[in-house]
Amino acid sequence: MSLLAPWACVLVGCIFVSSAEVFSLSDRYPPLWNESPGQFSDYSVENGKYIIDPWVFPKRMGMYKILLNKTASYFEKFAPDNKQNLLWGLPLQHGWQYTTGRLVDPTRTTDCGYESGDHLCISVDSWWADMNYFLCALPFLAAVDSGLMGIPSDQVLLLPPPKDQTKFCLSVSSCQSSFPSTMRKWNAFYKSPSSSFEDLLKYMWEAHVSALKDGYKIFEDRLEYYSKPEAGFGKDWCVSLNYLAAAGFPTIFSTVSEFQKALPPRVLVDGDTAPFISDFTDLQNIVLLGLNLFHEVDSKTATRLSRVLFSSTR
């Protein structure tokens, strides 16, 4: 692990230093946050079960909104307004995916997600949307299972996407049988309401990395729908998350909001080469280049943290 710490510090340090230079501290909630459901009764009910369609942007965002609300008590001892909630990273990242056009159908065979078409649609062919599913459905259903939501485990059903249904678990029981280790890790987080910030951070990242690993194996082939730079960025991003996890990056509202300003503001196309992308800020160019270097260094070092992630795929 000797190489890991300095590299992680460089990345995290770079982010903090650069974010200090960005003065806009306006608290930006994820897109459509106010319009998204905030309680179970905002969803429909069939045969005594709440039915949630996670392939519609505000409906998926609503799952996060409920989750943030129900975990507020874990974090109120650190600050009163829930802004120190470590789960903010999830909806903020999902919002970034939406605003930057990463949830649309990359194959363009449907109008799912496009401004001119069904703009709230989340495409099952989007690699980002599928990876995010594992960072939404699993933490949400594990929270239901842990009793946090105040409803029985079998009272929530997620609707399947239009295709590849078997790749997605839709209920507490099916997620537990398909992804037992990740569900256990999210449960460990929810079962520790009075833990220290550091312990909650540790539990959160363990579950987060485990969910990414589950998703990565299943959806790696989706990266073929994208340009080379975008597919490369997706992989680099996954590797970097392992380092952010190891460095204990605090995924609270303010740090993630700032951090996202440094991420590519649109899907990368062929010909995009950091640090020379003209419609990106200097910071966005540098961070994109940095994430790529990071992945290269990672693949050449013995400590290779990403082996955890890519182990079964190459």
Ligand X SMILES: *[C@@H]1O[C@H](CO)[C@@H](O)[C@H](O)[C@H]1NC(C)=O
Compare residues 38 and 275 and give the one whose CB is closer to ligand X: 38
Minimum distance from residue 187 beta carbon to ligand X (Å):
22
Q: What strands, in cross-sheet order, belong to the sheet with 156-158?
A: 44-46, 49-52, 156-158
Minimum distance from residue 92 beta carbon to ligand X (Å):
16
Pairing of strands 49-52, 44-46: antiparallel
Compare residues 79 and 308 and give the one whose CB is closer to ligand X: 79
CA distance 20 to 17: 5
- Subset of residues 166 to 185 that bind ligand X, contact rule: CB under 6 A: none
Compare residues 147 and 162 and give the one whose CB is closer to ligand X: 147
* Cis bond before residue 275 (omega within 30° of 0): yes
Minimum distance from residue 34 beta carbon to ligand X (Å):
12
Minimum distance from residue 135 beta carbon to ligand X (Å):
21
Compare residues 82 and 306 and give the one whose CB is closer to ligand X: 82
Minimum distance from residue 38 beta carbon to ligand X (Å):
5
Contacting ligand X (CB under 6 A), which of 34, 39, 107, 173? 39
- Subset of residues 220 to 249 that bind ligand X, contact rule: CB under 6 A: none
Contacting ligand X (CB under 6 A), which of 69, 100, 174, 227? 69
- Subset of residues 72 to 101 that bind ligand X, contact rule: CB under 6 A: 72, 82
Cβ(52)–Cβ(63) below 8 Å: yes
DSSP state string for 82-99: STT-GGGHHHHHHHHHHH
Compare residues 13 and 147 and give the one whose CB is closer to ligand X: 147
Q: How many residues bind ligand X (CB under 6 A)?
A: 5
Instruction: Examine residue 120 and tell whether it contacts ligand X (CB under 6 A).
Output: no
Contacting ligand X (CB under 6 A), which of 31, 37, 38, 101? 38
Minimum distance from residue 37 beta carbon to ligand X (Å):
10
Compare residues 59 and 222 and give the one whose CB is closer to ligand X: 59
Minimum distance from residue 159 beta carbon to ligand X (Å):
23
**Rg of the Cα atoms in the chain:** 19
Residues 23-31: contacts with CB under 8 Å, at least 24 apart: 25/254, 27/83, 27/253, 27/254, 27/257, 28/257, 29/95, 30/61, 30/64, 30/91, 30/92, 30/94, 30/95, 30/98, 31/57, 31/61, 31/95, 31/98, 31/99
Compare residues 70 and 261 and give the one whose CB is closer to ligand X: 70
Using CB under 6 A, list all residues that contact ligand X.
Answer: 38-39, 69, 72, 82
